[in-house]
Amino acid sequence: MSTFGGLSTAYSGLVAARAAIDLTGQNIANATTEGYTRQRVSQSAVGSASASSIFRAGVNIGQGVQIDRIARLGDSILDSRVQAAAASAGYWSVAASSVSTIETSLNEPGKNGLSTTLSDFWSAWQNLSNNPGSTGHASTLLAQADQLVSRIADGYTQAAAGWGDARTAALTTVQSVNATAAQVAQLNDQIRRTTASGGSANELIDQRSLLVGNLAGLTGSTVRENSDSTIDVVLGGNALVSGTTSRTIALAGATRVNDAASAPPHLEWSGGGGTVDLDGGELAGRLTTMGPAESGGSGGPWAESAALYNRLATSLTTSVNTIHSGAVTPTGAQGGEFFHIATTGGAPALALSVVPTDVTTIAGAASGKGGKDGSKADEIADLGASATGPDAIWAGYVVQVGVLSRTTSQQAMLSDQNVAAATTAQTSQSAVDLDEETMNLLTFQHAYQGAARVLTTMDEMLDTLINRTGLVGR
In a domain, 209, yes or no: yes
Q: For the chain, what is the domain count?
A: 2
Query: Is there a single domain that holds both residue 173 and residue 50?
Result: no
If you ran DSSP here, which 8-state letter would residue 329 be given?
-
Please tell me the predicted confidence (pLDDT) of residue 54: 53
Mean pLDDT by groups of 10 residues along the chain of 474 residues: 72 92 93 91 82 55 86 89 93 94 89 91 93 89 95 94 95 95 96 91 92 94 92 91 94 91 92 86 94 87 94 94 92 90 84 91 85 86 90 92 94 94 91 92 93 87 78 57
Query: Is there a single domain that holds both residue 264 and residue 219?
Result: yes
Domain boundary residue, one of 291, 321, 356: 291
In a domain, 242, yes or no: yes
Mode of pairing for the β-strands spanning 231-235 and 39-46:
unpaired
Consecutive H or E run containing 154: helix 135-196
In a domain, 51, yes or no: yes
In a domain, 130, yes or no: no
**Spatial distance between the Cα atoms of 356 and 341, rounded to a whole number of angstroms:** 14
Name which of 421, 394, 345, 318 is nearest 88 in CA terms: 421
pTM value? 0.85
Query: Is there a single domain that holds both residue 65 and residue 183?
Result: no
Query: Is there a single domain that holds both residue 236 and residue 285?
Result: yes
In a domain, 132, yes or no: no
**Spatial distance between the Cα atoms of 165 and 173, rounded to a whole number of angstroms:** 12
In a domain, 344, yes or no: no
Please tell me the predicted confidence (pLDDT) of residue 455: 87
- Enumerate residues 6+ apart whose C-beta is below 8 A from 393: 308, 311, 312, 315
Backbone phi, then psi, for 164, in 5-degree steps? -65, -40
Please tell me the predicted confidence (pLDDT) of residue 236: 85
**Spatial distance between the Cα atoms of 115 and 314, rounded to a whole number of angstroms:** 17
If you ran DSSP here, which 8-state letter would residue 339 be given?
E
**Spatial distance between the Cα atoms of 428 and 111, rounded to a whole number of angstroms:** 52
If you ran DSSP here, which 8-state letter would residue 59 be given?
S
Domain boundary residue, one of 239, 272, 291: 291
In a domain, 141, yes or no: no
Please tell me the predicted confidence (pLDDT) of residue 51: 47
Name which of 305, 281, 280 is nearest 291 in CA terms: 305
In a domain, 276, yes or no: yes
- CB neighbour burial string for 83-97, b if at least 16 within 10 angstroms, e if fewer: bbbbbbbbbbbbbbb
Residue span of the structural domain in which 58 resides: 3-73+432-468
Query: Is there a single domain that holds both residue 69 and residue 169?
Result: no
**Spatial distance between the Cα atoms of 15 and 22, rounded to a whole number of angstroms:** 11
Query: Is there a single domain that holds both residue 58 and residue 14?
Result: yes
- Kindly tell me the sign of the dihedral angle through the C-alpha atoms of 410, 413, 417, 422: positive
390-430 and 301-324 helices, crossing angle to 10°: 170
Query: Is there a single domain that holds both residue 208 and residue 263?
Result: yes
If you ran DSSP here, which 8-state letter would residue 293 be given?
P
Query: Is there a single domain that holds both residue 240 and residue 222?
Result: yes
**Spatial distance between the Cα atoms of 228 and 242, rounded to a whole number of angstroms:** 12
Please tell me the predicted confidence (pLDDT) of residue 50: 55
User: ∠ CA 24-36-171 to the nearest 5 degrees?
Assistant: 165
Query: Is there a single domain that holds both residue 90 and residue 172?
Result: yes
Please tell me the predicted confidence (pLDDT) of residue 148: 95
Query: Is there a single domain that holds both residue 170 and residue 277?
Result: yes
Query: Is there a single domain that holds both residue 8 and residue 96?
Result: no
Domain boundary residue, one of 291, 310, 342: 291
Query: Is there a single domain that holds both residue 271 and residue 201?
Result: yes
Backbone phi, then psi, for 231, in 5-degree steps? -130, 160
